[in-house]
Amino acid sequence: MSDNRASLPIPPQSALERSARLLAQLRAALHGAGGWLPFDAYMQQALYAPGLGYYTGQADQFGDFGSSSDFVTAPELTPLFGRAVAAQVAQAMDLAGTRRVVEFGAGTGALAAQLLGELAGRGCAPEEYVIVELSGALKHRQMETIRTRAPELADRVRWWTALPESFDAVVVGNEVLDAMPVKLLRRGESGWLERGVGQDGDDLVWIDRPTPLAPPDPEAGALPAGTVTEIHPQALAFIRTLAERLDRGVALFLDYGFPQHEYYHPQRHMGTLRAHYRHRALDDVLLWPGLVDITAHVDFTAIALAAQDAGLDVLGYTSQANFLLNCGLLDLLAQDFVAGPPPAAPESAAAICATLDAPASSLYLRQTAAVNKLLGESEMGELFKVIALGRGIAAPLRGFARGDRTHTL
């Protein structure tokens, strides 16, 4: 791999020992499978192996720059993100006639606390806020965050480990689809190969095998030999399951990705698969199993088609910048500036100046910097997209009032 491991911060010994236990499990799985695992099976174990995977064996992945975390999500940048999303959630609850919100993969619980607080301030606090979470470590962190930041609503929060057979809700997933295991394909001289993981001595290595699988884009057959890309069967299966269970409601997914014609563009010939460790993006996705995040961008066209085939409507698709602007993010920023520093602890280290003795101008500058990152075309504003899926919803959603790109899917 091209990444220089020697330049990376070394994980603590306890983390390396946990990774070694997971690696032993992976080697046993390789032995049982004849020396080859498809990449999605490897990614499933690396991220979600009980007690050992990246999301199931630790709770310090999320945080601010300069911490021991690996990445920063939008709710950690500024509470204004969750407050803006709440404007869409409030409208969707009204249209769907439900007072239940279901969040998938709630991370630290920051978005849940922001949504609960803002919805209560709007007079439409959900009667039930459900978090679907597979990680016991993250569930504990979510509990603490909500008890600290939204204590008056903490008794309305529930945790599900699986979906019920049917339910009504407004569903929210921020950076969830990108963490679902993907299959990895490489274009050979005479067709597509599936890339999997094998062993060479003590090292994990890539091994490619012939496959009938191919990218869903009909133009992908013209991609040059050597192209590496992903397909997303688990994310599509998740959407189909959600469609089977959601009787009435709206599902909002915010994530980085592209429509299909951009996803499989010849210029993206090495795909989108990346690892994240200590705020660095790495090509070496086999590094330290269980200690690095592994993600791939979302094929939003495939998500939309899977939803439609399963009976959901595509209610909107746009950039994160358009969505947040439509939901009043700049108005919320202006209101915060007028109100001055909040009489409470900051939501993240990025807002550390927002204490009682910090000047309003300092708070405003910090919040403005975070908003610029959320909206900037070269930052999260264009790379991240928002798609809304639903059933039984007739009126248009405010988050897509201007700049809707559904026609590009």
Beta bridge partners of residue 329, listed in sequence order: none
pLDDT (tens digit per residue) in 142-179? 999 999 999 999 999 999 989 999 999 999 999 999 99
39: left (phi over 0), alpha (psi -120 to 50) or beta: alpha
Is residue 6 a part of any domain in this protein?
no
Is residue 288 a part of any domain in this protein?
yes
- Structural domain including 331 reads 14-402
Number of domains making up the chain: 1
Is residue 9 a part of any domain in this protein?
no
pLDDT over 90 at 204, yes or no: yes
The first and second tokens of residue 361, run together, are: 């101008």
Is residue 197 a part of any domain in this protein?
yes
pLDDT of residue 137: 85
CB neighbours of 15 closer than 8 A, spacing ≥ 6? 58, 291
Report the pLDDT averaged over residues 101-120.
Answer: 97
Is residue 223 a part of any domain in this protein?
yes
The first and second tokens of residue 396, run together, are: 């248009």
3-state secondary structure of 215: coil
pLDDT (tens digit per residue) in 274-332? 999 888 889 999 999 999 999 999 999 999 999 999 999 999 999 999 999 999 999 99
Residue type, 225: A
- Is 128 in contact with 160 (CB distance < 8 Å)? no
pLDDT (tens digit per residue) in 240-273? 999 999 999 999 999 999 999 999 999 999 999 9
Is residue 45 a part of any domain in this protein?
yes
Pairing of strands 192-200, 203-210: antiparallel
Is residue 7 a part of any domain in this protein?
no
Is residue 385 a part of any domain in this protein?
yes
- Is 163 in contact with 132 (CB distance < 8 Å)? yes
CA angle 323, 409, 248 (to 5 degrees): 65
Euclidean distance between CA atoms 264 and 241, whole angstroms: 26
pLDDT of residue 2: 45
Domain at 186, CATH number: 3.40.50.12710
3-state secondary structure of 389: strand
